Amino acid sequence: MFNKFLPKGKKLYINDRHEEANTDKEDRRKLYDKRILPFLKEGDNVVFGELIDNFLWDYYRNLGLAKIKPENIFYVPNYLDYSSLTKAVLNNDLLIKKIKQKKISQLVPYIESYDSQFLSQKINSKILREASFLDWINNKSNYRQVIKSLEFPCIPGLTVSNFEEAKRAFRFLRENGFKEIILKKERSVAGFGNFILNTEKELEERFKKSFSDEKSFLLEGFIPNTEFTSNVQYWIESNRIVPVLISDQILAKDRVSYQGSIFPSYLNRTPHLLEKIRNLSLDFCHYLQKQKCYGFVGIDYIITKDKKVYSTEANVRFNASTFNALLANKLFDSSDKIFWKSFGINNCFLSFKDLFNHFSDDFIIKKEQSGVFPTGIDLLQSLGEGQFMVMGRDFKEIDILEKKFKKKVQNEK
């Protein structure tokens, strides 16, 4: 599935979310590593932190997925001793020697960090883009600079470096009509590091708790009348820019944390807004292309009830919904007509085998079939957490399928 995008040659995947910034407080078992499993071809190579669930692997293979050979899978049993899976590999000379024997031509990480770039050098492979530029462009303040130069509509906001500057910025935004202010770390993932504030007292408390060690951070006016939020993804090469998908984001009750995605986007019902966002997105993609920054990029937008458009950030890396979109394309030949949604379950301490055997009628077991599909069940039995997709022929069907599955799981508890 990735081969239609990536250069030809032998690949090593290390789908390590903890190479992204601001994940230090997250349980290190919550990696994205197994989310790559269904995509892996026979000749691919991969690094995982923990053993594959064999029942899950068989489930994927029965659908024509996860064809990777067992001898091409590398494990790092002590990865929890390190801040990321990639760091664990870098500290394992024997493992690096074994990987080098595979003569890898392309390292495919979750994000091209300094560590993943160093790993590519150690195994004598190429990497798509430079870590230094990714580190710069994935910074929210730098992104604001770029989109202003491209004449994107930009949410009023200020970058500050200490609490006194933050107070002044808070007051400035209040004086300009914002009832709520959003406090942001300059690097984060899935909404971590974003906080909505109402008072200066809340600002002081949050600064002491989460921002006192930050060299700089952002305060922006919080847009209150948001109708929906969209993520637009492209694949960028030196001579072409390929649309991947447009999905809508599902946010938690805190209004900033990412909980999942739904496809197709509501933007499809508003052609003039869709065209505007496509044009803005392509302008940013052309900017990346000029910087020789190739690969996947996701650009986040909010659309207000009065049809104003703002871009909040770009994720120049894999996005969570990248996996969902490519899976839907693989499982359904006419993917333009498929509807899907990603969601999670909690407090369900079952193995995937037991879950499947209890609710086999709910799961997709053949191509072109509506139903539930597991995307991340590494922590199902140990922490009770699982990530899934539901796919169907319209929004009504996927809503019914999701609710039915969640109700069954809830009753099983």
- Percent of the chain residues past pLDDT 70, beyond the cut: 98
pLDDT of residue 251: 85
Taking 90 as the threshold, does the pLDDT of residue 222 lie above it? yes
- Out of 253-257, 275-279, 321-325, least confident range: 253-257
- Does pTM top 0.75 for this prediction? yes
pLDDT of residue 93: 97
Query: Do the beta carbons of residue 74 and residue 47 sit within 8 Å?
Result: yes
Distance in angstroms (rounded) separating the CA atoms of residues 68 and 272: 43
Which has the higher per-residue pLDDT, 30 or 49?
49
Query: Do the beta carbons of residue 139 and residue 215 sit within 8 Å?
Result: no
Give pLDDT tens digits for 363-400: 999 999 999 999 999 889 999 999 999 999 999 999 99
Q: Mean pLDDT over residues 45-67, rounded?
A: 96
Final residue before a domain boundary, out of 135, 165, 195 = 135
Exposed / middle / buried, residue 397 (Cβ in 10 Å: 0-12, 13-18, 19+): middle
The band of 334, judged by pLDDT with boundaries at 50, 70 and 90, is low
The band of 22, judged by pLDDT with boundaries at 50, 70 and 90, is confident
Query: Which residue do the tokens 């996947």 mark?
Result: 296
Final residue before a domain boundary, out of 166, 193, 221 = 221
Torsion-angle region of residue 238: left (phi > 0), alpha (psi -120 to 50) or beta?
A: alpha
Distance in angstroms (rounded) separating the CA atoms of residues 330 and 38: 10
Q: Are residues 217 and 232 in the same domain?
A: no
Tell whether 2 is covered by a domain: no
The separation between the first and the last C-alpha atoms of the chain, rounded to the nearest angstrom, is: 36
Q: Mean pLDDT over residues 42-61, rounded?
A: 96
Query: Do the beta carbons of residue 152 and residue 280 sit within 8 Å?
Result: yes
Tell whether 324 is covered by a domain: no
pLDDT of residue 224: 87
Q: Mean pLDDT over residues 340-356, rounded?
A: 95
Q: Are residues 79 and 161 in the same domain?
A: no
- Out of 47-61, 139-153, 199-213, 250-264, least confident range: 250-264
Tell whether 144 is covered by a domain: no
Query: Do the beta carbons of residue 116 and residue 14 sit within 8 Å?
Result: yes
Q: Are residues 120 and 47 in the same domain?
A: yes
Which has the higher per-residue pLDDT, 32 or 339?
339
Q: Are residues 126 and 172 in the same domain?
A: no
Taking 80 as the threshold, does the pLDDT of residue 333 lie above it? no
Q: Are residues 229 and 207 in the same domain?
A: no
pLDDT of residue 189: 74
CATH code at position 346? 3.30.70
Distance in angstroms (rounded) separating the CA atoms of residues 19 and 83: 8
Q: Are residues 258 and 197 in the same domain?
A: no
pLDDT of residue 275: 96
When divided into structural domains, the chain yields a total of 4
pLDDT of residue 413: 61
Tell whether 118 is covered by a domain: yes
The rounded radius of gyration (Å) of the Cα atoms in the chain is 21
Q: Are residues 199 and 272 in the same domain?
A: no
Of 98, 99, 132, nearest to 117 by C-alpha is 132
Taking 90 as the threshold, does the pLDDT of residue 32 lie above it? no
Taking 90 as the threshold, does the pLDDT of residue 29 lie above it? no
Domain range for 72: 11-135
Q: Mean pLDDT over residues 210-217, rounded?
A: 91
CATH code at position 248? 3.30.470.20
Tell whether 269 is covered by a domain: yes
pLDDT of residue 336: 67
Taking 70 as the threshold, does the pLDDT of residue 191 lie above it? no
Tell whether 373 is covered by a domain: yes
Tell whether 200 is covered by a domain: yes
pLDDT of residue 62: 97
Of 154, 83, 271, nearest to 91 by C-alpha is 83
The band of 20, judged by pLDDT with boundaries at 50, 70 and 90, is confident
Q: Are residues 249 and 215 in the same domain?
A: no
Exposed / middle / buried, residue 96 (Cβ in 10 Å: 0-12, 13-18, 19+): middle
Q: Mean pLDDT over residues 307-333, rounded?
A: 91
Tell whether 145 is covered by a domain: no
Exposed / middle / buried, residue 305 (Cβ in 10 Å: 0-12, 13-18, 19+): exposed
The band of 262, judged by pLDDT with boundaries at 50, 70 and 90, is very high
Q: Are residues 310 and 336 in the same domain?
A: no
Final residue before a domain boundary, out of 316, 344, 370 = 316
pLDDT of residue 335: 62
Exposed / middle / buried, residue 4 (Cβ in 10 Å: 0-12, 13-18, 19+): exposed
pLDDT of residue 13: 97
Q: Interhelix angle for 93-100 vs 114-122, to 10°?
A: 60
Query: Do the beta carbons of residue 157 and residue 217 sit within 8 Å?
Result: no
Q: Are residues 15 and 128 in the same domain?
A: yes
The band of 340, judged by pLDDT with boundaries at 50, 70 and 90, is very high
The band of 410, judged by pLDDT with boundaries at 50, 70 and 90, is confident
Q: Are residues 169 and 96 in the same domain?
A: no
Which has the higher per-residue pLDDT, 68 or 2?
68
Q: Are residues 99 and 20 in the same domain?
A: yes
Mean pLDDT (the chain) is 93
